[in-house]
Chains A and B, each alone.
Chain A
């Protein structure tokens, strides 16, 4: 009887060690694949040269982990233990803050580096020439500083990253320079500070890098209103801010990449609904920006607020429609001519990439 018990115990553990075959290669059980980027090492061809030089063995041992049936499951267990017990997150460049908040781009945002003041002044003088020329032609340009999680939710930053406001050096010096030079800009960090507890939805999700869809919509609405008053041209059918209880596509990219077993407990997930109509009388927008501006285009809703031929130049590199369809690569040499087609310009950046200014757009116009 005892022997039988010991044999069952032994057999059970051996069975556990072979259980991965049910996942791969037998495919009897399906597991959710891991999110994020995993570069599976290439397997070297089996031949005598590779075998005796150990290249084959090394490559097989490295690649076998990724093809192993229980790789996703065990990786999630590891990541969850590390996160829950040891407060460690296994995503490159992501910092684990307090209260479940994750942070990224901290190094670009919280830094003691800053602009060369002479260079910045020269650059903004060039910008002012563009701003004044557009104004004279009845066109409009505005800089948007998207909110940065490192600033708006600085209270939850990891202890070793908590500092005073002066450490957001690029953002801070650029904002001061805008004021000094009289440049039109909207700072959604300031707005977010004022409004972060005003709405039922969050400015940022705990596990996301970017603003939530709801807050992005709230800010877009604000931009449209601003453009309407500045140009005396009504932008028709501006977004209506209806909130739905069940969000579509919440921004939790860091959390997804963290591959945890149990998702982070998000506080308030909402998505703004919107109705608008695109027609040729609407303003023809050229939107230049980063992934925060991307949040305005990937939902496709905002396209209807502007002329159908409006464009989004992602990092001033790829020209897309406002519905996020790729059109062409940006031709920097002909950018000046091309921009005459548009009558409204929005440049979007945030504190983490403030040092790149407008991604070279103004320089293109001065070629």
Chain B
């Protein structure tokens, strides 16, 4: 069940909200938990048992970590938890990748391959594994206390708005809210709903519309396309990915707000960044934070030698790439971004001060997304070749709808360059206190967008969520 489906939008969400608001305060978490179990088991009816098992195990292990007085015991319980969580992630997500690669080598050496069928990836596995780890590690480090109630811990892991595509919420950011310390107000409910509708529109009206044409272009004979089409494919995907994922994050944040949760932002106009370093502070912020706090810093961060620091940076980006998918393209994409980060850190950053740097960042990110999109490296290489061959001979005429929506996508993506617009989007509270007309305008727009999004959900079949497969 995706957020942009009829079932979710017109049945699940309104019914859930009504039940939630009608329920007495002490039962609200039960409603959330029940809705989350229904939501997850709808898409992964078997995997719900896996997630329930690991969650229960983590809860017990964390209690043991907290109870244990010796450092050694704490470490053992931590290792068991890491082994189970990462083992599960490895089995479902990476085992097939490693097996096929080993098989390739074995075949070359004349040895019989191992052979294995691809396993179905439980939805959201990468996201809830990382969240579970934050809980275990935070308690192990002694930074936070464990949750008293298993129900509350289960609610943290299963909280359906963020369960399958993030944002990745560290335990310490949400624990107190789950335990009841969350404010609900009419402002919050309304701003959450508006945020949800704007996210839905970004996903349905922009990402889906652009994505449909991108997929059509990818069906063309790649040897026949010219430079203009190759760029349309790559830039189209760059925008599709951003509006798809940020739209989803907006919807998740919006739903959470409607039920009183404040969760971290995941995007902040990434395409207006003046460097790749800045880009990664603005794109999938929750993953970046996780990588910094739970991988980069434990590896030594920038406190070690010159080479160690750069090694740490690069390895974090390679792992980050690999987190997105079990494929060489994702590893290369991570390495590609890590490389630019190092180059910028070494000497490029001093040149990246003016607005031209925005073009540089967009260009590099766009080149990177070609790798990200294409698991088949031959396809990626062919597109690169066409992008830089400067041949303009194709008879393919770009769809007018694609061009218009791409224009809108650019306009919205770069609107953060205007200071007044940027500051207006940084704090939802300004919606209600600064300008009355702004709320009325957004309310009217949200109604129009809801009708338009609904008509596009029902009127066309193309409705994938790119980040669901991660």
Contacts and interface: CB of A to CB of B under 8 A. Distances in A.
B193 interface: yes
B458 A65 contact: yes
Interface string B388-411: 000000000101110010000000
A226 to B, nearest CB: 45
Interface in A6-24: 6-7, 9-10, 12-14, 16-18, 20
B263 interface: no
Contacts of B187: 3, 6
Nearest to A160: B397
Contacts of B452: 77, 81
Contacts of A78: 455-456, 458-460
Nearest to A57: B42
Contact of A7 (B186, B459, B460): B186
B46 interface: yes
B69 to A, nearest CB: 44
B400 A75 contact: no
Contact of A17 (B5, B10, B46): B10
A61 interface: yes
Contact of B14 (A14, A74, A77, A81): A14
A74 B450 contact: no
A2 B185 CA distance: 11
Given A51-B45, A52-B46, A74-B459, A65 B6 contact: yes
Interface in B430-454: 432, 443, 446-447, 450-452, 454
Contacts of B189: 6-7, 10
Q: Mostly helix, strand, loop or mixed at chain B's interface?
A: helix
A113 interface: no
Interface in A63-110: 64-65, 68, 70-71, 74-75, 77-79, 81-82, 85-88, 90
B461 to A, nearest CB: 9
B7 A16 contact: no
A54 interface: yes
Contacts of B455: 74-75, 77-78, 81
B459 A75 contact: yes
B18 interface: yes
Contacts of B459: 74-75, 77-79, 82, 90
B119 interface: no
A68 to B, nearest CB: 5
Contacts of B397: 160
A18 B454 CA distance: 12
A224 interface: no
Interface residues of B, number: 41
Contacts, number: 100
Contact of B17 (A9, A14, A54, A57): A14
A60 interface: yes
A14 B18 CA distance: 9
Contacts of B1: 57, 61
A99 B372 CA distance: 43
Q: How many residues of A sit at the interface, in one of the four size bands?
A: 35 or more
Q: In terms of DSSP, what is the predominant structure of the interface of chain A?
A: helix
B434 to A, nearest CB: 13
Interface-central residue, B10, B447, B450, B460, by most chain A CB under 10 Å: B10
B193 A10 contact: yes
A9 to B, nearest CB: 5
Contact of B447 (A13, A18, A61): A13
Contacts of A87: 400
Interface in B1-56: 1, 5-7, 9-11, 13-14, 17-18, 42-43, 45-46
B190 interface: yes
B454 A70 contact: yes
A75 B461 CA distance: 12
B175 interface: no
B456 A20 contact: no
B454 A74 contact: yes
Contacts of A64: 6-7, 11
A62 to B, nearest CB: 10
Interface string B182-199: 000111011001000100
Interface string A217-244: 0000000000000000000000000000
A160 B399 CA distance: 12
Contacts of A16: 447, 450
B190 A10 contact: yes
A112 to B, nearest CB: 15
A90 B447 CA distance: 25
B290 to A, nearest CB: 30
B6 A9 contact: no
B447 A86 contact: no
Contacts of A60: 7
A226 B74 CA distance: 102
Interface in A145-175: 160
Interface of A: 2-4, 6-7, 9-10, 12-14, 16-18, 20, 51-52, 54, 57, 60-61, 64-65, 68, 70-71, 74-75, 77-79, 81-82, 85-88, 90, 160
A-B pairs, 4 with minimum CB distance: A78-B459, A6-B186, A78-B455, A86-B401
Given A13-B450, A51-B45, 15 more contacts: A4-B186, A6-B186, A9-B443, A10-B186, A10-B193, A12-B447, A14-B14, A20-B10, A60-B7, A61-B5, A74-B458, A77-B451, A77-B452, A78-B455, A86-B404
26 contacts: A3-B186, A4-B186, A9-B443, A10-B193, A12-B447, A13-B197, A14-B18, A14-B193, A16-B450, A18-B10, A18-B14, A51-B45, A54-B43, A57-B43, A60-B7, A61-B5, A61-B6, A65-B6, A70-B454, A77-B459, A78-B458, A81-B452, A81-B455, A86-B399, A86-B400, A90-B460
